[in-house]
Amino acid sequence: MPPTTPLDPLPDQPTDRPPVDEPVTAPSHVALRHQRARLAGLPAAPWLHQEVASRLAAKLEPIRLEPESWIDWSAFLGGGAGPVAARYPQARRWVVEPDAALTARSVEALTASPSGGWLSRLRRPRPQVFTEPLAPASAPWQPQGAQMLWANMTLHGAADLPALMGAWHRHLAVGGFLMCSGLGPDTARELRALYREAGWPLPTVDFIDMHDLGDELVRAGFSDPVMDMERITLTWGDPQAMLDELRSWGGNVAHGRFGGLRTPAWRRRLLELIARHLGRPDGRIGLTVEVIYGHAMKPEPRVALAPEARVSLDDMRRMVRKKGHP
């Protein structure tokens, strides 16, 4: 998914509401499409995404691998181009966006950004932008794959997280590594509690726990996953300022969210409840954000023991090189 944050309690998109007994666990595909179209109109990546990108980039420091090329997944909303380029200035960047609207914004950003002199362009070609779904065979970084895949603030908005991780695995080179991040289950816990007490459908999807994230990475074929998390408390001057900021992060894309338009009276009550339940001693409005980070490697392919096993020529060459043969 795009790096979007399903927290907007004011549904303004068409809904594909499921039966009322369906749990709120995952994003709706239809709502995600509408949300991406809206977020593609932002002037830049949301502030929170840029902040998390800087923190994720700091985790690159102890990694000794120096990628020659890397994939910036959902780049426009991820806000990671600058921090990663500062760490790997010579690495070639490829951009992959989840849909055409965000692809257009990435192309626009690349066109508007300064490209440097001719020597800089020779050393590091201008990134190319691609749109999902992208067949591995059509990607210019194949057949070897890219040495790093960077996916900032994408985990919590994936409608099919196993399928997304499978795509990441396919696009990486053997020995390459993944850097990803997203929102964890403590995000907006105060707002979620407020909605439960008011008897309203929850305003968010169920965010993935970092331990579950590690299990998903292993199932997708990655090895040596390293998980980390941190909680950040954000504050605003008033409830409306908080809602405005949350809307810039994304919207409520959960199955089971309220299926119609809210009234002005409901909105006034929401603002009153936020002021009452989320107010801090200093008079500001506070909200918890939990950020989870993931790092994992793409290992050498394993050959299953069987009476007959088939191994691709590329995999055989890699295994032979690993054993030290020419």
The dihedral over CA atoms of 169, 207, 227, 290, expressed in degrees to the nearest 10, equals 140
C-alpha distances in Å from residue 100, one per residue of 35, 132, 165, 267: 13, 8, 21, 33
Q: Are 292 and 210 in contact (CB under 8 A)?
A: yes
What is the pLDDT, as a whole number, of residue 118?
A: 47
Q: Residue 305's pLDDT is what?
A: 52
**Model pLDDT, residue 254:** 80
Which stretches in the chain have pLDDT values below 70?
1-25, 113-124, 303-326
Could you report the per-residue pLDDT of 217-234, keeping only the tens digit for each?
A: 999 999 999 999 999 999
| pLDDT at site 20 | 35
Domains of the chain: 29-322 (3.40.50.150)
Beta bridge partners of 178: 149, 296
User: What are the tens digits of pLDDT across the range 177-225?
Assistant: 999 999 999 999 999 999 999 999 889 888 989 999 999 999 999 999 9
Amino acid letter, residue 91 = A
